[in-house]
Structure 1
Amino acid sequence: MSTVKLPREQKLQLVERIQYYFEMELSQEMGQLAGENLLDFMIKELSPYLYNQAMADARSVIGERMASIEEELYALEKPVAR
């Protein structure tokens, strides 16, 4: 699996949110470079878990849709005279 690459604007917004969190919740200032490094680390570590959960969610949705399609196909069957 490849590493997640965010557009620069999104990355900067996330770094700002991390910096804000550290300042508000932990009373610590965090510089731009430290924020970017933390974000890169978090993306690297969390990506496989988030990806796998997204895949599980997609499998679930597809399974539900396939069951619905199967029901609709059975409803289209013509009665057979015996």
Structure 2
Amino acid sequence: MAEIKFSRDQKVRLVAEIQRYFDKELDQEIGDFDAEFLLDFFSEKVGGVYYNQGLNDARRLLDEKLDTITESFYELEKVTEFD
């Protein structure tokens, strides 16, 4: 799996979101460095789980769509006396 990377803008927004969470839910302030460190830690240690779940969800959706397409082909078939 490729390393999970964020654009600078994404990272800034995610760090701010982590800081808001700590402030609101834990009544604790967390600095930019600590929030970015926490983001990097979770990206490395937990990110793959979310990534794999996304792949599994996409695979399942694709399988469902392909089943529908396959069924549509059968519906288009003409009955002939040569079948």
Q: How many Å apart are 1:39 and its aligned residue?
A: 0.5
3-state SS of paired residue (2:81): coil
Looking at structure 2, the residues matched to 51 and 20 of structure 1 have their Cα atoms a distance apart, in angstroms, of: 24
Matching residue's letter, 1:74: Y
Aligned to 1:57: 57
Looking at structure 2, the residues matched to 48 and 24 of structure 1 have their Cα atoms a distance apart, in angstroms, of: 27
TM-score normalised by the chain length of structure 1: 0.91
Unmatched tracts of structure 2, length 5 or more: none
Looking at structure 2, the residues matched to 3 and 37 of structure 1 have their Cα atoms a distance apart, in angstroms, of: 16
Aligned to 2:38: 38
What's the % identity of the aligned pairs? 41
Looking at structure 2, the residues matched to 26 and 47 of structure 1 have their Cα atoms a distance apart, in angstroms, of: 23
3-state SS of paired residue (2:51): helix
3-state SS of paired residue (2:9): helix
Q: How many Å apart are 1:57 and its aligned residue?
A: 0.6
Looking at structure 1, the residues matched to 20 and 66 of structure 2 have their Cα atoms a distance apart, in angstroms, of: 44
Unmatched tracts of structure 1, length 5 or more: none
Count of aligned pairs between the two proteins:
82
Q: Please report the RMSD computed on the Cα atoms of aligned residues, expressed in angstroms.
A: 1.2
Mapping of residues 1-80 of structure 1, within 5 Å = 1-80=1-80
Q: How many Å apart are 1:70 and its aligned residue?
A: 0.9
